[in-house]
Structures are given as C-alpha cells and as structure tokens.
C-alpha cells in the first residue's frame, strides 16, 4: 500500500456530475494502491454532495458501478470533509 491520500474537491459541480467524479477518483485511487481519499464536499452552501457522500448513496453507487473497489470505511473529520479508506 502506497499510503497516500487523494484529495477530491467537487465544489461547483452539480450533484450527478459530482457523483461520477467522486466515484471515478475513488476507483483511480484504489487502482493506484492509495490508502484512501479525502473528499472536501463542504457544508455551508448546500448539502446535496455531503449527503450523497455521508448517508449511504456513495457506498451504494460504489457497490453497483465499481465493485472492484470492494469494502471501504468512512471517517468524518469535520463538517466539510469525509475520508474514505480502502479495506484491503
């Protein structure tokens, strides 16, 4: 495991665009054997992306469209950031 964390910042994107952007970056990081990703989704000016990441939709999306990623765990560091780690 390389141990590096990829930073993902979907600010300014519409929800559907952010969903695929985040998932593609997670897949890319997994393939590069990184430890996980840091998603900076914010929390002040809208909660759609944060809710996608934190309330189960991201996990469902990954399982359905990116099964090769496998199991992940999530950690909330502050209101605007969520870490996703690969359980390998």
Judge whether residue 56 has pLDDT over 60: yes
Q: In the prediction, which pLDDT does 26 show? A: 96
State how far the Cα of 64 lies from the Cα of 50, in Å rounded to an integer.
Answer: 20
Q: Which residue carries 């952010």 as its tokens? A: 18
C-alpha distances in Å from residue 60, one per residue of 51, 57, 72: 13, 5, 11
Domain definitions of the chain by residue range: 5-86
Percent of the chain at pLDDT above 70?
Answer: 95
| Average pLDDT estimate for 75-87 | 91
Strand 36-40 versus strand 5-8 pairing type: parallel
State how far the Cα of 34 lies from the Cα of 28, in Å rounded to an integer.
Answer: 9
Q: In the prediction, which pLDDT does 1 show? A: 44
Judge whether residue 77 has pLDDT over 60: yes
Percent of the chain at pLDDT above 90?
Answer: 73
CATH fold group of domain 5-86: Ribosomal Protein S8; Chain: A, domain 1 (3.30.1370)
């Amino acid at each position: 495991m390389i141990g590096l964390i990829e930073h993902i910042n979907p600010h300014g994107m519409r929800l559907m665009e952010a969903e695929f952007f985040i998932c593609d970056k997670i897949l890319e990081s997994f393939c590069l054997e990184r430890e996980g990703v840091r998603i900076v989704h914010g929390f002040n000016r809208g909660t759609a992306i944060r809710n996608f990441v934190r309330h189960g939709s991201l996990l469902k999306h990954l399982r359905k469209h990116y099964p090769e990623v496998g199991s992940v765990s999530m950690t909330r560091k502050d209101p605007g950031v969520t870490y996703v780690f690969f359980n390998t």
